[in-house]
Structure 1
């Protein structure tokens, strides 16, 4: 009888071990993910709906089995919404841990300095992993930067972050502006910075160009920036041809070759450094500049000096066959 009792206990123990193995091994053992892949947990998902989605996508063999073991063996933390990377061979336990504590995959969209709003709009609309519609943002309202986003995030949400970044940057830089600058408001600073952004692509020239433009604003000279002539024609896109004489003479509120002072609004989205240059311009007497043939500009105090620099620039163009 004693032997029988021991045998019975052994049988019960073996059955319990087999049962525990049947419960535990499928949870912690290797999964069915054969290669690294991504999985999206939609916002507002329950563990039940995620289990069903895992089965539908062939990541687990049974939604019911995954859910049952998750409730017994898994952690108590809630799952997060977002897109996750599931490595090859990930077990159900690893998958649940990823949804609970793993990093959400974030992608990025970059807006280069001097990108006009029509191109910001087109760039966001071309991102296939974003959702929803947006309007073309107000010119000058977006801070050129790199912004991360999640799959399925709305374009409106990403654009709102871009515009909030511009508001914060402009407020910060305005609060630390130099004395006796040529602009009276943050809006004017944004407008002038958009011109500086278009006038030079060299970081080391920004403050000097800002100094020249500031001098012109203060003396009520025409700013004479071709980009302001082009803007109402193309909304910031490349013109693709030479500017016509009629366009240069058109006294529209953007054309600084026909009107004195600042244009009516920004002509692009300036970067942080262009705004900073306008709010701390170079201390210079220069009123003119022209391209020097090397990607930069040569600056002049007087019209006579400027005309000589223009002559040299034209001679360079003829020599180079431009």
Structure 2
């Protein structure tokens, strides 16, 4: 890795990111509950935000240590994701197959156990079971597996941004080949929508945004609040427009939507600095952000409970949201928190070796 290359990565905690994380997950929940306005909105946020946060973290490590400790990175990701994930898989399997009597066909259990639900959906179509939504998480996990190696190679080339842009272009080009049927796939739309090879640009857009903040510090983005509001709603409109244009959406659109998601993210971050939005950086949003991962995991079960308890859609949605929060809180306290301490302990020991 080129040790002469330095990046001015901010050490301060960027504001508003907890709200972005919560909104990304809740947009997905609203979409799966039947709110068409939010269909396809949460995923670009979740993927771009993941790319941004991971890259921001790795750039800090590169600045300090001039390298990336890939074994530690993978161990941390495993301890962060796997315990809650496998607990949910067991719960979903029992609920689907034992209680509801729906069989998991086409080796779905194998795909779920190996974090490849995205390729199950790509091969067999997007199912309606308790684990179909895990394609997004599978895509991110596969990205976490290969991205540190990609970033190390990019830095060795001394032009990391150019390398990442090249991979964005390759992903777009690959999607276009599949969509135009130059390359034949039986389920071309499910493959384009779910597979890592056709969605990696959405994550890399977030990565490029993290690199941008090393060149143009966050504090240098300065506009009046009304301007940030205008930009945010314009970008949000662009997201909705893109998903309604299939020829665009399934070719260039994913990269475009990821870019708009990053713009909305920046707008939320800047607006969160205003006194009238101080709640954005308060304990309520911070605590919701802590349980956003299990909220994502358990939302099909939570929504199912809510709509089972009430035939009224809005009341069912309210009960479903409460159920999701309860399940997510239990998962965080009982499953995730102990492993969080284990992760911190491993990192502290590693720092003194």
TM over 0.5: no
> Would you tell me which structure has more helix in proportion to its own residues?
2
More RCO (CA 8 Å, sep 6+): 2
Q: Which has the larger radius of gyration?
A: 1
TM-score using structure 1 length: 0.23
Q: Which protein is richer in strand relative to its size? A: 1
TM-score by length of 2: 0.22
